[in-house]
Amino acid sequence: MSGCLFCQIAQGQRPAHNIFEGEGTVAFLDILPCTPGHTLVIPRHHYATLSEMPAEEVGKLFQAAAMVAERVQAAMGAAGFNMGINNGKEAGQEVFHAHIHIIPRYQGDGGGSMKSVARMSGKEDLEQLATKIRQAFTSS
Ligand code: 5GP
Ligand code: ZN
């Protein structure tokens, strides 16, 4: 899609520090890294969000991301990594070409866990929530 930054990177029309190029996926360093080695893995094809991607493409993207994450961790000598997706504006998505973040983690880097992205106050009735969510599997 013309005008999409990540389509331009996938097509080699915008400079990026690529670290892996697969048939359907590309991985490159994030321009504003959270930690050294912060990498983005994207599908070559334009999908604005993960929700738009066919299940098969999601599978390929995650397979590539898992492989890339192991290599990044090893190369960086990192102690672990966070892998995540900001899916939708309210979740913090800024670039609307689906992508997976791989953030290598280092001892004492001062970062938090995936649970630090949001916090709810008060308790919810988990069984009530589970019933509501289960219905989404039968209605689609
Ligand atoms: P989002 O919030 O959409 O999940 O994250 C988008 C990410 O893309 C951000 O971490 C941002 O630093 C990165 N980014 C934005 N523009 C560019 C760019 O032109 N090149 C690269 N390599 N990364 C970018
Ligand atoms: Zn795109």
Q: Which amino acid, 135?
A: Q
Dump pLDDT digits (tens) for 55-114.
Answer: 999 999 999 999 999 999 999 999 999 999 999 999 999 999 999 999 999 999 999 999
Assess whether 99 carries a catalytic annotation.
yes
Average pLDDT, the chain: 96
Percent of the chain past pLDDT 70, that is, above it, reads 99
Average pLDDT, stretch 12-32? Answer: 97
Count the neighbouring beta carbons within 10 Å of the beta carbon of residue 121.
4
C-beta 125 within 6 A of ligand 1 = no
Q: What pTM, to 2 d.p., does this model score?
A: 0.96
pLDDT at 49 over 80: yes
CATH of the domain at 51: 3.30.428.10
The residues, ordered by sequence, that sit 6+ positions from 24 with a Cβ below 8 Å of its Cβ are 43, 44, 45, 57, 60, 61, 64
pLDDT at 120 over 70: yes
Q: Whose CA is nearest to atom 21 of ligand 1?
A: 31
31 alpha carbon, closest ligand: 1
Secondary structure class of 121 (helix, strand, coil): coil
Measure the CA–CA gap between 97 and 49, rounded to whole angstroms: 6
C-beta 94 within 6 A of ligand 1 = yes
Range of the domain at 39: 5-138
Return the pLDDT at 140: 58
Ligand 1 atom closest to Cα of residue 96 = 3
Burial class (CB in 10 A: 0-12, 13-18, 19+), 72: buried
For strands 100-105 and 80-84, give the pairing. antiparallel
Give the DSSP H/E element, type plus range, for residue 113: none
pLDDT at 40 over 90: yes
Check 38, 97, 99, 101 and give the catalytic one. 99
CA of 97 to the centre of ligand 1 (A): 10
Which DSSP string do the residues of 6-72 spell out, in sequence order? HHHHHTTSS---EEEE-SSEEEEE-SS-SSTT-EEEEESS--SSGGGS-HHHHHHHHHHHHHHHHHH
Number of domains in the chain: 1
Q: Whose CA is nearest to atom 13 of ligand 1?
A: 30
